[in-house]
Structure 1
Amino acid sequence: MVTRMNTSPYLIPLSPVISEEEIKKSRFITYLAHTPGIESAKAFVAEIKAKHADARHNCWAFVAGRPEDSMSWGFSDDGEPSGTAGKPILAQLSGSGVGEITAVVTRYYGGIRLGTGGLVKAYGGGVQQALLQLATKEKAITVQFTISCEYPHIALIESILASHNAVQVNTDFSHNVEMTVEVDARSAEQIAAEIFNRSRGQVSVAGLDKNT
């Protein structure tokens, strides 16, 4: 069974968000950040934990890839009762439709217990409010492939690439010309077919796996 790559774009954070509120004398500080990958997410969590090393809890969750890819999710209650912090934070993130995002909620304990329901509301609600302030941008999925052609075909190839907003990553001028280009994954096969057809099969495209 071949799994096709999901080429649809998704939203990612444009800039960090910090939100703060006090609930029954406990201070909750919510941080949101763009974290493209699990290692980046873990690094951001470590950064906030170091910044607030004196806090009672630094609870967190991340959606480090596509919003729907649960393999890139993670969370921690960081000492709060099980299920009262990390999961509510993750629920807000995974339901937001935003990918590559990490939330850390720092709690400075104020001496009044909130109970399990209160904790769920505090952690989930803090992230919900922070998400309302979050600016996002669309991330397009791109792929790279290599075009091999003779010098007389350069103008044709560059015209086709320009019409599709393709980016030339590298060009090697030797006996023939080899261009490595990066394009929106949704139009990659169309561009390859257009190059082949308009050059009457004299230009080859390599490295484009249609079943990726």
Structure 2
Amino acid sequence: MKKADVAELYLRLAELNPEPEGELEWVNPYTLLVAVALSAQATDVSVNLATRRLFALADTPTKMLALGEDAVREQIKTIGLFNTKAKNVMLMARQLVDLHGGEVPQDRAALEQLAGVGRKTANVVLNIAFGQPTIAVDTHVFRVSNRTGLAPGKTPLDVELKLAKVTPAPFLLHAHHWLILHGRYICKARAPECWRCPIVDLCRYREKKLAPPKTRSSGTADQAQ
């Protein structure tokens, strides 16, 4: 995508949503860290349902350790891979207490040393909790970046590095939020809704769906009844 088109893409997304926010619920950097780690292979909705109860009981590493693994497992059992995630939550809490005085570190390397924390999770926490201009590449960002031609790459790291390079500085802080939301609600995996896309003319996708799928008329529906 041309440099001018990249700037225009972000400008349009910014005009539609000037202050985008993540959809995971959190009350402090620690609860954000836990929520993001729990969201792997799970929806934000399912994580929020579980963490509302969990964070009411434990919103610091010390409280989480006091709560215990069995109780954590019980609270998050509706989330995929809950057994492994419960173990990671407990180990992460222990690491934070022992190595960081119970505080969430503000650098990627330290975050990635924590149990259950990868580069994407670290980038989300740095961005949302600490206001750093990092770009977290999830499946939505990866798809949108490749499909539109914004920052094509074969791996999430490839895409992240390209996005960091091509995204104009004024848009870096919110870039991954705009792309996540765009991928989640418009540029969907199986059926992108190109007919209502605000950046359709900038997009390099060759199989654009410029008309919504046809639905049966009310008359047909009445006859079917």
Give me the TM-score of the superposition, normalised by structure 2.
0.21
Higher RCO (CA-CA < 8 Å; seq separation 6+): 1
Which of the two has greater helix per residue? 2
Larger Rg: 1
Which of the two has greater strand per residue? 1
